[in-house]
Structures are given as C-alpha cells and as structure tokens.
Amino acid sequence: MSSLPLTRRAATGLGLSFFAAPALAAGPTVPRWGVHEISLKASVAGNPFDVALTAAFTDGKTTLKVRGFYDGDGTWRIRFSPPAEGVWRWRTTSPVKALNGQAGTVMATGPRPGDHGPLKVVAGYHFAHADGAPFRHVGTTAYSWAQQSDALCAETLATLKASPFNKIRMCVFPNVAGEPIFPFEKAGDGWDYDRPNPAYFRRLEDRVRRLAQIGVQADLILFHPYDDKTGWHAMTAARDDRYIRYMVARFAAFSNVWWSLANEWDLVKAKSIADFERIGRLIQAEDPYGRLCSIHNWRDLYDNGRPWISHASVQNGSAVMDDSRAQIFRDVWKKPVIFDEVRYEGDLTQRWGDLSAENLVQRFWHGLVAGTYVGHGEVFKEGVRWTAKGGHFTGHSVPRLAFLRSVMEAGPTPGLDPIDRTWDQHLGGKAGTYYLRYFGEAAPTEWAVDLPKDELTGGERFRVDVLDTWNMTVTPVEGDFVMAKKDAYYLHDPARPTVALPGRPWMAVRVVRI
C-alpha cells in the first residue's frame, strides 16, 4: 500500500465521480499531518477483525491506500493523515456491502501551529521533519508506561514534557504488570489471539496522541521476548500478520509513530529472521506513510541494511564508549544509527542497569561526536523504575542530556558527522564550519586546536568554546583562531596552537567558524 503518483487518466478506474468538482465549503477539514477519521457501521458474520476494508485517498497527484480497522460495536474506522494541503477524495473498497463504495472528501488545511510533520531520514544519517525542521534525537525508554494507571501515565507525560527527550521506546504488549486490560480478548485461562481488544488499543493510542501533543515520538515495539506466559510473541504467522495490519491501520496515521519490530529480536526464539523479514515487508506494504522502522537487538545485530529498515536501533554495552567505535555502525550500514540501549543509569547489580549518570551522559556525547544518536534509560531499585513504568526520574543524567540537546540545537543541520573518519580524529561536526571534540573521562589541561584540512584552505576564523558537559557550562575562549597550514593534514593558528582546559573530566571543545 505504498504511495503512488496517480494521473487522472490512470485513476479513471476508480470512477469518475471520484474526481467530481470539489464541494469545499461544508466539508470536513483536517490539518496537514493531522488525523481525519471516517467511521462506518456494518453487521457481519464471522470475525470482524478479518473484514477487508481499504480506502483510496487522492488529491489528484498522490494516492494513498489506507486500511480500515475494526473498533468494536459494529464500527470500522479509517484514519487518514494528509501529507499535503488541499482537497482529498476518498472511496472505500470492501467485500462487505455496507462498507463498500463509501466516498467523501476532506480538506487538508495548513498544519497545526508548531507541527513540523512526520520524520524522515535526511543526509543519510540524520532525521528531519517533513517541513525540513531538524530533529535532534534524544531518546528514552519506558517499556510499559502506557499500560499503567491514568495517574501514573499523567505523571510520565508531565515528566517527559519537562525533559529533553523527544522520542520514547514503548511496548505494545506490556513487559511488566500494569492495568488489568490486555491486547487480546480473554478466552478461558488464555487468550483469543484472533480477537484484538479494541479498548486496549484505544487506551494505547490515547497515550500516543498525548505524546504527539508534547512533541515526543512514539517508537512502538511490536514484539518482545518477555511475555512467555501470554504467548503474544509466539503466535502463528497468520495471527502476527493480522496484528501487524491492525496496528498499522490504527496507528500509522499518527505522525509521531515509529515502528520497532522487536525488542531484543534475537531473544524472541519463537521467530526466525524469515519471520521478521516477512513482518518488516508487511509493514512497508501496509504503511502508506512510510513511518520510521527498525528492529532492536540483544547480542546479534540484525542486518540493518535491509530495505524496510529506516535506521539501526542498536543495543550494545560498549559501542558508545568511544566515538570512533560508534561511527563504524554508520559506515557499515549507511543509515542513521540510534544506540537505543547502552546500559541504563541505575543501581542494579545487573550490569545492564548499573551505570553512573556520568557514564551514561558520556555515552551520549561520544555518540554525538560519532554522528549517531543515543537513548536513555533509568532503573533504580527504589521507586517506580522509569524504564519499566515511567513516572519520574531518580537519576542525575537528565539535566545533562538537556544541556547536550541545547548543544545539538545550536549545532549544524541536520546533525553532526564524523570528520576525517577512519583516522581516529575524535571530531564530529561539519568540515570547514563546526568541530566538536569530547574528552570523556580524560582530564586534559590543554588541547591542540588542529583542524583536519578538509574544506579549509587557511585564513578561516573560528571562535572556540570550552564546554563542561557535566556542570553544564559554556565558556567562550577570548579572541579568534585564524587557521593556517600546520602540516600535510592539519591547519591551526600558529599564534595560539592550543586551548587551555581545566583538567576536569567530561569536558568538550567546540570550534565554530565566524
């Protein structure tokens, strides 16, 4: 169901009335990138979740085919998010008479104020909104926050709103206990895997809408290996496919939705790579908007070169301990890389949850210099445990990640790229105009401001800032640095070849062209 350009001639098979003159004044409207919902009623024999229902939406230039979904009570819904302003006509197709041949129009107006549209991959390794606004990914994880009480969910949303995070990884199937409402109807002691529970998904989509309101992307994890008792990770392929179609039909119209096929795919022993490939291709075929799509690993990296994968979603306990290490993942896959799990801040005895705040923040900075992105998580013994259920933060990394995001926002668009990569420069930015060097635990007292020669000829002027990434300060260095050739590979300012540093850890230097 991919987006296809459609000429009037090619579209005549849809019926001429499809292109009748618009009747704009009285019709429904929806902001560009918002959600227009059509409700249809019918009474059917058999499983209503197996009723085929699609609608074609066209503005005369682009046609999108959108699947409808059953929402209980004899009601089917079709959700459409217009990618462009203007009049969109639609017409349904279904073997069920009451659902077939329904038609209408919707006028897509300008976007809501502040809505920059869904995300896409830009410049190979970064993200931007549909209107071109940059998206500087600073992610977090709270697997089962959406399944908690309304009060705890409200607290989570308030926490997120005040945080630097603009993406959250969250499970569709809960991985820890929450409210007693479940994704499938109960059947005896078990589940009727053939009947999704609309109320459950309605509650989940309420969370997704609220995330959109505060500008947070929802990375929806479709499968995970932690539901041995429920078996939701081990359904048949036909049931998996029905569930995937249902998820895409319900959620794809929300422009802040991302798809994550699995958490720790290589622990989902009930599924093979062939299963994930089928599911990945199914999402690609079903999702008319091409939302971002990834698959998260435990130990074994998935082949993130696969065409249905928009970006790598990596778990690795050590990759972002060094920017030169992290950038290899970019170089190999030639896609954006998000290190979604790099060990969590916390006080657990398990090594995946024992990071100091300093160490977690350090990983974000190494990732930034590498031209990659990093995700946060927090698991303290006391309290609710953010990464399980949401709530509030106990750790000390979050304010530092806000500082990091402010540095990202002030940096090059759409993001930083490693400079003179493969030579261990430890410099990220944009050759010729912006350089960021990060020292991690090292506590140097000076740094040679040697800039690799790419995009420099000599005579360029730079200002230099010393950043304390832990204490969140920016200290401008007095005066300019004027570049001149140093040797075959570097330029520097012969009058001031180094910059003084305070001998503390977690420092960075930013060199910006004037």
Total residues binding its own copies (CB under 8 A): 28
Residue 472 to residues 150, 165, 397, 403, 440: CA-CA distances in angstroms?
34, 17, 11, 6, 14
Residue closer to its own copies (CB basis): 280 or 390? 280
| Pairwise CA distance, residues 384 & 494, whole Å | 55
**Least distance between its own copies and beta carbon 51 (Å):** 40
| Binding residues among 129-148 for its own copies as defined by CB under 8 A | none
**Is the CB of residue 499 less than 8 Å from the CB of residue 509?**
yes
Does residue 221 touch its own copies according to CB under 8 A? no
Three-class secondary structure of residue 470 per DSSP: coil
| Pairwise CA distance, residues 404 & 140, whole Å | 14
Angle ∠(386,391,394) on CA atoms, nearest 5? 60
Three-class secondary structure of residue 161 per DSSP: helix
Record the tokens describing residue 486, joined without a space. Answer: 């140093």
**Least distance between its own copies and beta carbon 299 (Å):** 6
| Binding residues among 311-330 for its own copies as defined by CB under 8 A | 315-319, 321-322, 324-325, 328-329
**Least distance between its own copies and beta carbon 397 (Å):** 20
The phi and psi torsions of 502 (rounded to 5 degrees) equal -85, 0
Three-class secondary structure of residue 205 per DSSP: helix
Tell me which of 96, 116, 431, 489 binds its own copies, using CB under 8 A.
489
Q: Which residues contact 477 (CB under 8 A, 6 or more apart)?
A: 463, 464, 465, 466, 499
Tell me which of 30, 301, 402, 512 binds its own copies, using CB under 8 A.
301
**Least distance between its own copies and beta carbon 321 (Å):** 6
What is the amino acid identity at position 512?
V
- Among residues 278, 187, 277, 262, the alpha carbon closest in space to that of 230 is found at 187
**Least distance between its own copies and beta carbon 322 (Å):** 7
Residue closer to its own copies (CB basis): 317 or 479? 317
311: left (phi over 0), alpha (psi -120 to 50) or beta: beta
Record the tokens describing residue 492, joined without a space. Answer: 């520097």
Tell me which of 10, 154, 181, 332 binds its own copies, using CB under 8 A.
332
Does residue 277 touch its own copies according to CB under 8 A? no
**Least distance between its own copies and beta carbon 295 (Å):** 14
**Least distance between its own copies and beta carbon 501 (Å):** 22
Tell me which of 112, 209, 299, 381 binds its own copies, using CB under 8 A.
299
Strands 75-80 and 36-41, how do they pair?
Answer: antiparallel
Binding mask 413-442 for its own copies (x = CB under 8 A): --------xxxx------------------
Does residue 333 touch its own copies according to CB under 8 A? yes
Three-class secondary structure of residue 358 per DSSP: helix
Does residue 124 touch its own copies according to CB under 8 A? no
Angle at which helices 237-251 and 273-286 pack, to 10 degrees? 30
Residue with tokens 């569709």, as numbered in its chain: 172
Residue with tokens 């075959």, as numbered in its chain: 488
Does residue 350 touch its own copies according to CB under 8 A? yes
Q: Where are the alpha helices (DSSP H) in 273-397?
A: 273-286, 323-333, 357-369, 386-389
**Least distance between its own copies and beta carbon 355 (Å):** 13
**Least distance between its own copies and beta carbon 421 (Å):** 7
Segment interacting with its own copies, rule: CB under 8 A, options 139-147, 310-318, 442-450, 465-473:
310-318
Tell me which of 85, 179, 185, 331 binds its own copies, using CB under 8 A.
331
**Least distance between its own copies and beta carbon 380 (Å):** 18
Residue closer to its own copies (CB basis): 241 or 331? 331
The site for its own copies (CB under 8 A) is made up of: 299-301, 303, 305, 315-319, 321-322, 324-325, 328-329, 331-333, 349-351, 421-424, 488-489
